[in-house]
Amino acid sequence: MPPSLPGRAQRHTLHPPLIRNDERMLRFTFVGDSMTIGSAGELTWRYRMWQHLRAAYGDGAFEVAGPRETLHDKTANAPVSHDYADADPAFPRNHLAGWGEGWLHMAPVIEEAVALARTDVLLISLGLIDLGFYTNAEQTAQNVRRFVAGARAANPRVRMVLLPVIPNVRAETDAPFAAEVAHFNTLLAKAVADLDSGPSPLLLASVPESYDIHQDTYDGTHPNASGERKLADTFALAMRQAWGPVGASHGGLA
């Protein structure tokens, strides 16, 4: 049972930079697994990140886009819940996240999703489920590269912020799994360095230094309220630090 979640107030806001688009308001899409879709009764780190974007841009100056809107319902074992705790009614629920889905599942669908949503910035948290059930570190890294290629096929100027895999409680007792997570994170950093380009920059966020799976999750994997804040904060901080003011030819940050 997830712990009770706080109200709408957010104590710390790390404003991401104002990425500008000359033609229309920017569209952000969240991509992730169970940590990102969240389950019934949660707010999700998507909500916390929306608060950052709202503080930076103001209401009506950006959009959150994506083909899905629901939370995962553990009782039904399906993404059919609309119970977002006490989220602000203005919160846009759109996302591309799924319980039990990883790079393996998102790589084949990201081109269509970006095209339909007209996504400008992808905020991505994937990999744990791949390594836990589907693919090893090398195979997962190949799916990262397929994902990037697919997103760029839909929008050659799409920006991507990627979060490394946070080792969960399984890694504490399963040494081979912990090693795969560490190896994948190394390969992810290499992929970001290899694939980063001026028109379509890739940014590797950092796992929050203070993130503690025994304090910031409710089950050793899925974030509770403090974990949600820390995940949103690390995306916002990475964007702020890496994408400071640059020329309009690079997408325009202010």
Tokens of 223: 């974030």
Concatenated DSSP letters of 1-27: -PPP---S--S---PPP-B--SSS-EE
Question: Would you state the pLDDT for residue 18?
Answer: 56
pLDDT in tens, the chain (254 residues): 333 222 333 334 565 655 555 456 889 999 999 999 999 999 999 999 999 999 888 888 899 999 999 999 999 999 999 999 987 999 999 999 999 999 999 999 999 999 999 999 999 999 999 999 999 999 999 999 999 999 999 999 999 999 999 999 999 999 999 999 999 999 999 999 999 999 999 999 999 999 999 999 999 999 999 999 999 999 999 998 887 432 222 233 32
Q: What's the one-letter identity of residue 138? A: E
Do residues 29 and 97 make contact, with C-beta atoms less than 8 angstroms apart? no
Residue carrying structure tokens 């886009």: 65
Question: Would you state the pLDDT for residue 15?
Answer: 59
Residue 148 CA to residue 151 CA, distance in Å, equals 5
Q: Alpha helices of the chain — where are they, by DSSP H?
A: 34-37, 45-57, 103-106, 110-117, 128-129, 137-154, 170-173, 175-195, 225-242
